[in-house]
């Protein structure tokens, strides 16, 4: 199972919106509404930000939103803040009952 494809880096100024893409195939992203997004700060464990394409766990800011079209899912961070700086990973359930992660995107708040 190949990793899902994400851009290596995305940047934006405070207050702006950015979008991170996550491209897979019909055997993962396109086939199921089980796409999740995680935030990871350096030296820390990842944290679930979005699950089932667009749902937010309790306590996650509504500045984070998710969507999906075909084989590509997206995470949008609106009203960018300094604390949003970090690495972001998508994941998807697959047709072989496994989980596959994306390649990761480094978000830089300018």
CA angle 95, 53, 1 (to 5 degrees): 30
Contacts of 37 (CB under 8 A, 6+ apart): 20, 22, 48, 49, 50, 51, 64, 66, 75, 88, 89, 90, 91
Are the C-beta atoms of residues 42 and 86 closer than 8 Å to each other? yes
The residues in 57-76 that bind another protein, with binding defined as CB under 8 A, are 57
Report, in Å, the least distance between residue 98 CB and another protein: 5
Which part of the chain contacts another protein (CB under 8 A), choosing from 9-17, 49-57, 62-70, 73-81? 49-57
Q: How far is the CB of 84 from another protein (least distance, A)?
A: 19
Stretch that binds another protein, among 14-22, 50-58, 62-70, 78-86 (CB under 8 A): 50-58
Q: Which long-range contacts (CB under 8 A, 24 or more apart) does 48-51 make?
A: 49/75, 49/88, 50/75
To the nearest whole angstrom, how small is the minimum distance from the Cβ of residue 8 to another protein?
A: 11
Helix (H, G, I), strand (E, B) or coil at 71: coil
Instruction: Decide if residue 54 touches another protein (CB under 8 A).
Output: no
Interaction site with another protein (CB under 8 A) = 1, 3, 32, 34, 36, 38, 40, 45-48, 51-52, 57, 89, 91, 93, 96-104
């Amino acid at each position: 199972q190949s990793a899902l494809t994400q851009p290596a880096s995305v940047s934006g100024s405070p207050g702006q919106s950015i979008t991170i893409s996550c491209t897979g195939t019909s055997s993962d992203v396109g086939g199921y509404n089980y796409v999740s997004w995680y935030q990871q700060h350096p030296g820390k464990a990842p944290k679930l930000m979005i699950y089932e394409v667009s749902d937010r766990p309790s306590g996650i800011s509504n500045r984070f939103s998710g969507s999906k079209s075909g084989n590509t899912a997206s995470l949008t961070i609106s009203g960018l803040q300094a604390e949003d700086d970090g690495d972001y990973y998508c994941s998807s359930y697959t047709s072989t009952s496994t989980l596959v992660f994306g390649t990761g995107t480094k978000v830089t708040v300018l």
